[in-house]
Amino acid sequence: QASLNGPSGLNNGVQILQGQLTNFLTSFEADPLNLTNTISLIDTLWSLNKTNEALRVVDDVVLNQEADQQLLTVMAQKVADIPDLVRLESILTVISVKFPDTPSVFYDLASLQAFKGKPDSAITNLVRALELSQNRLKVNPEAKDLTEVYKTDQRFSSLKNHPQYEKLITPLLSK
């Protein structure tokens, strides 16, 4: 059993990761929508400091028309961990287009856009998130109420001085 202590142990660890990488790449090529394998592939690439290759895998998944919401959400989480805010906004936008009835995606996108200083886009997506959340609550009263979450979410404080805030957001808060 090789130890990871010392140079030879570290080399053995890298060799093990390289072997796993080959297996994960082969599996990814065969089934790029396999969530478990895709996560393992990305994590292994990052462990080997192959960030660009890992991001190419993320991009391939995001561009795959058959990628489901769970897989795309995991790709967004992986990119958020780096963080690559430009890529994250792009992925969240893709998810919002493919799955337009998901309030949390619009909420996360609005939060990111508020942080990035894009108030018009942030307000548009926040309105969509709050409307979707309120509609979802009519069908499922146990669902997460993003209106209540929003009321204490400091990430949106920069939007409160925006000219459209009173017109678009305030009415949603009283529902």
C-alpha dihedral sign at 39, 41, 44, 49: negative
Choose among 110, 114, 117, 58: nearest CA to 82: 58
pLDDT of 82? 87
Query: d(Cα 43, Cα 75) in Å, to the nearest integer?
Result: 11
The pLDDT tens digits along the chain (175 residues) read 444 444 444 455 567 677 788 888 989 999 999 999 999 999 999 988 999 999 999 999 999 999 999 999 999 999 999 889 999 999 999 999 999 999 999 999 999 999 999 999 999 999 999 999 999 999 999 999 999 999 899 999 999 888 888 888 878 887 6
pLDDT of 1? 43
170's tokens: 């305030």
